[in-house]
Structure 1
Amino acid sequence: MSTATDQQTREHAVVASVPDGLFIGGTWRPAASGATFGVEDPSVARELRTVADAGAEDARAAAGAAAAAQGAWAATAPRERSEILRRAFELLTDPRRREELALLMTLEMGKPLAEARGEVAYAAEFFRWFAEEAVRIEGGYQTSPDGRDRFVIMRHPVGPALLVTPWNFPLAMGTRKIGPAIAAGCTMIVKPAEQTPLTMLKLAEIMVEAGVPDGVLNVVTTSRPGEVVEPLLRGGAVRKLSFTGSTQVGRLLLEQSAQHVLRVSLELGGNAPFVVCEDADLDKAVDGAMAAKMRNIGEACTAANRLYVHERVAADFAEKLAARMGALTVGRGTEPGVDVGPLIDEAGRGKVTQLVADATARGAKVLTGGGHAPGEGYFYSPTVLTGVPADATMLHEEIFGPVAPILTFASDDEAVAAANDTPYGLVSYLFTENLDRAFRLAERLETGMVGLNKGVVSNPAAPFGGVKHSGLGREGGRVGIDEFLETRYLAMPLG
């Protein structure tokens, strides 16, 4: 049997191993309507398989299952919840499972296998982190100021949670939400993105193996998210929404959550500035730019979207970055040696194409790339642009692709003003070898996170989230579990 045939057999086997139904109340079932929708492999623009297409009736069934399980789950011992997460961590880090999940993500999302393996490891760490946090939920005891009363501060799970995950990190964005929900004692309904439901369905199967009780984790896949999400938010059973996605959709969900005053955490869009000062180590800055721009094919809310480089070093930086970007190999993520996979779909590639065309029409110069890459799927060449004018559309929208626009600045004040000139505030990147400048500029950058001489900021032990239009709340870190807990207190007189 040829190597190519072996690979095709592995691909078919891993796709066929995924349940194709909805997971509600501990049971796999078809959609009430019997509807299904197709999941595409973006590297070849062909359907991988079909899965159940949920509607409003299925949403209500999932909400009912989560609500019915909430009381018993909240009463479960923290150590028991911790052990479930620990077992899930161990299952995800098993080499066989890691390879299955990595291949599945590559097939339905497009990222190269090496990156997919990295995502499995990253995703598993959220389970390990929150396994440790589950047994450290703290309360308190204090005396009232007048000495007459005693206060007992308690933490309780918020209740059933709706978790809406994006397509670009189909495993890690799931574990980042499921981990703290389980640790806090919340039941949940997970609605994965329609482009990448297979990974979440496989994860649900793994969570059952780890010991999650019936009704605690429910998964509804759908090609009609509005028909599923709105009834859940307005139905009264759900008490918490955690959403990762676009700012436009986040605003709509925030409005829908207002009717029942839900606890809401939103991780929304970004427009990350990447600032390279004149004293920066250029090789370190280029390494950081490659990480910040090309992670996940540039399809990340944390991706460097605007690269501001001091005018004295801009030419050298651009030359080095273009050489690195131009040397990347574009292709199907399952093939050896591939650095850059396809974009998620034709609409995604179309947007990148339009943004580059707009910038070049306004005078930007293409140093490398600038167009579609060969292949059956939605490939786009890694691209570096210089001379990008301030009115170019790509400076005001998320590019979500392998395109790096370089601009220049002459002073620190100019760099900070340009970096902050956006309604978004998720992450910024700063490269300088001067410690005073590093702290001075980092404190002025209006983002929830700053990468100092570092191109990747995501870490399960750190509080991930943004300011301004980039969202509400934090995921990960010691505060990540707080999003799923309510604080109550008991007052009692003494003596």
Structure 2
Amino acid sequence: MTVLHETMRPVLDGLDVPTDLLVAGERRASGSGRRIDVRDPATGEVLATVADADLDDARAAVGAAADAAAAWAATSPRHRAEILVRAFELMTERSEDLARLIALENGKALPDARSEVAYAAEFFRWYAEEGVRLRGQLGRSPSGANRMVVTYQPVGVSVLVTPWNFPAAMATRKIAPALAAGCTAVLKPATETPLTAYAVAALLEQAGMPPGVLNVVTTSTAGPVVEAMLSDPRTRMLSFTGSTEVGRRLLRVAADRVLKCGMELGGNAPFVVLDDADVDAAVDGAMVAKMRNGGQACTAANRFLVADAVHDVFVEGLVARMAEVTVGPGVDESTGCGPLINADAVRKVDELVRDAIDRGARAVLGGEPVDGPGCFYPPTVLVDVPRDARLLHEEVFGPVAPVVRVDDEEEALALANDSEFGLVSYLYTGDLARGLRLSERLESGMVGLNRGLVSDPAAPFGGTKQSGLGREGSTEGLLEFMEAHYVATSW
């Protein structure tokens, strides 16, 4: 059974969005028969219900992936690439429908949703191209005693766990390299945004993906279900995007079976504006780094560290730009900032803002939850933020910009690196040599130098410290799903 909100009906009527589990190429209800409500965060109304998988469903999905593994690994890279290219074409053709679906179940503004769909589709095209380029190595050993033949083989059945904040892009960023490498997979999307994952899987089926190559399970008991899949001896890989706390728990489970793991975890991105920066450009970059998806991104700028010489001008510009942002339902064309994902997210953001203000910060814009229905929080700028405020040390995941005044680049770097996280940093300066020198000292896997956006399918995405293990995107993302196989031979 599927329950549709009237706002949802035009999207689901025009786009294949199944709501049951995908196992071995078949749509099936969960063994328990239970369903999960998917709600519009802008209104709280139910958009649809999806199947709620239990442990037996999870094992069946892994079994389906295992049954399909040998045949899929044996297909040529070119054949796999053709399916991925067709998936890219289908996503591009249905981009507006997908964007509206994302705006409904995730809440993000339509411009952000459209950008996400374009970004998500590019992973299919990139890995279609990258998969056929991967070659092995043939060489002579240093001693001259033998030849060395190195090839790359698929790691095997992979469990892919994705978050709600980028329901299309986080899915394709894992699915595309896994399939290009010759792996079969089970995707477990977030229960807040499962419809997009099911829609993407349906497009892959239309593109010619064989049954069992990608299986999709949704569940309200993520911990036990994912642990059951990881404990299954047929599973060989875990790729997870989510919080550091959950990532640590999954790593403990994976360690028992010595599973290969890729982890894209939390962030606490500093946004450094030096005294020689182009302030207008820095404000432009801040709007992208902070306000994309309403700040609900692991790459979102979390701490603005601004040189004293440009602090006031930067704050003035940022406040003016953020004040222009219209808050409303994501599907409304005039909306610039949609709702947060749920009421708990609103409470957390407000708690962090209240803590900062109680410690001496001042709200020069926003700072109070929006009255009325929906999970809205307004664009907020805080100044005079004390160093011990919680929002400088925790992910905010909302449209809140705390600004800290710094004296010089050394203080800015010290504060930027004062975090257990190291996903991405942003740095604005008018001196390229200075920027490159300081970028090397920023303790993060990625740096946006005079840019507020770093993500690209061709770039290695990932962090250092507590922000994760491995990389997604680029050639590195393909190799995450492969193992080097070495043959020593004499001839």
TM score, norm. by length of structure 2:
0.98
- Is 1:331–1:375's contact at 8 Å kept on the other side of the alignment? no
For the pair 1:212 / 2:247, whether they are aligned, the reply is no
Name the structure 1 match of 2:47.
48
Residue 375 of structure 1 deviates from its aligned partner by 4.0
- Is 1:15–1:48's contact at 8 Å kept on the other side of the alignment? no
For the pair 1:85 / 2:84, whether they are aligned, the reply is yes
For the pair 1:438 / 2:440, whether they are aligned, the reply is no
- Is 2:23–2:60's contact at 8 Å kept on the other side of the alignment? yes
Please list the CA deviations of residues 342-372 of structure 1 after superposition, one character each: whole Å capped at 9, or x if unmatched.
0000000100010000000111011101111
Name the structure 2 match of 1:338.
335
For the pair 1:418 / 2:432, whether they are aligned, the reply is no
How far apart, CA to CA, are the structure 2 residues paired with 1:278 and 1:266? Answer: 36
Residue 146 of structure 1 deviates from its aligned partner by 2.0
SS of structure 1 residue aligned to 2:165: coil
Correspondence 1:42-441 to 2 at 5 A: 42-94=41-93, 97-441=94-438
- Is 2:8–2:47's contact at 8 Å kept on the other side of the alignment? no
SS of structure 2 residue aligned to 1:253: helix
How far apart, CA to CA, are the structure 1 residues paired with 2:294 and 2:282? Answer: 19
Q: Counterpart of 1:91 in structure 2: which amino acid? A: L
How far apart, CA to CA, are the structure 2 residues paired with 1:51 and 1:336? Answer: 28
Residue 374 of structure 1 deviates from its aligned partner by 4.1
- Is 2:38–2:46's contact at 8 Å kept on the other side of the alignment? yes
Please list the CA deviations of residues 386-444 of structure 1 after superposition, one character each: whole Å capped at 9, or x if unmatched.
00001100011000000000001111111111000000000000000112211121010
How far apart, CA to CA, are the structure 1 residues paired with 2:37 and 2:419? Answer: 37
Residue 121 of structure 1 deviates from its aligned partner by 0.4
For 1:462, which of 459, 463, 484 is the aligned residue? 459
Identify which range, 375-384 or 265-274, moves more after superposition. 375-384
Please list the CA deviations of residues 436-479 of structure 1 after superposition, one character each: whole Å capped at 9, or x if unmatched.
21112101000000000000000001000000000000000121
Residue 334 of structure 1 deviates from its aligned partner by 1.2
How far apart, CA to CA, are the structure 1 residues paired with 2:206 and 2:120? Answer: 17
Residue 336 of structure 1 deviates from its aligned partner by 2.3
Please list the CA deviations of residues 122-155 of structure 1 after superposition, one character each: whole Å capped at 9, or x if unmatched.
1000001000011011101111122121111011
- Is 2:100–2:113's contact at 8 Å kept on the other side of the alignment? yes
In structure 2, relative to structure 1, the CA distance for the partners of 1:256 and 1:62 (3 Å cut) is same
Residue 310 of structure 1 deviates from its aligned partner by 0.2
Name the structure 2 match of 1:3.
none
Name the structure 2 match of 1:32.
31
How far apart, CA to CA, are the structure 1 residues paired with 2:181 and 2:484? Answer: 12
- Is 1:275–1:309's contact at 8 Å kept on the other side of the alignment? yes
Q: Counterpart of 1:110 in structure 2: which amino acid? A: G
Name the structure 2 match of 1:4.
none
- Is 1:242–1:264's contact at 8 Å kept on the other side of the alignment? yes
- Is 1:104–1:199's contact at 8 Å kept on the other side of the alignment? yes
- Is 1:15–1:49's contact at 8 Å kept on the other side of the alignment? no
- Is 2:303–2:403's contact at 8 Å kept on the other side of the alignment? yes
How far apart, CA to CA, are the structure 2 residues paired with 1:156 and 1:450? Answer: 32
SS of structure 2 residue aligned to 1:215: coil
How far apart, CA to CA, are the structure 2 residues paired with 1:418 and 1:9? Answer: 49
SS of structure 1 residue aligned to 2:459: coil
Residue 11 of structure 1 deviates from its aligned partner by 2.6
Residue 19 of structure 1 deviates from its aligned partner by 1.0
How far apart, CA to CA, are the structure 2 residues paired with 1:483 and 1:49? Answer: 34
Q: Counterpart of 2:441 in structure 1: which amino acid? A: R
Residue 45 of structure 1 deviates from its aligned partner by 1.1
How far apart, CA to CA, are the structure 1 residues paired with 2:319 and 2:73? Answer: 53
Q: Counterpart of 1:398 in structure 2: which amino acid? A: E
Residue 260 of structure 1 deviates from its aligned partner by 1.3
Q: Counterpart of 1:465 in structure 2: which amino acid? A: G
Q: Counterpart of 1:454 in structure 2: which amino acid? A: R
- The alignment covers a number of residue pairs equal to 485
Unmatched tracts of structure 2, length 5 or more: none
SS of structure 2 residue aligned to 1:444: coil
How far apart, CA to CA, are the structure 2 residues paired with 1:420 and 1:15? Answer: 46
How far apart, CA to CA, are the structure 2 residues paired with 1:99 and 1:207? Answer: 17
TM score, norm. by length of structure 1:
0.97
How far apart, CA to CA, are the structure 2 residues paired with 1:226 and 1:9? Answer: 33
Q: Counterpart of 2:206 in structure 1: which amino acid? A: E
How far apart, CA to CA, are the structure 1 residues paired with 2:245 and 2:375? Answer: 24
Q: Counterpart of 1:194 in structure 2: which amino acid? A: T
How far apart, CA to CA, are the structure 2 residues paired with 1:134 and 1:154? Answer: 13
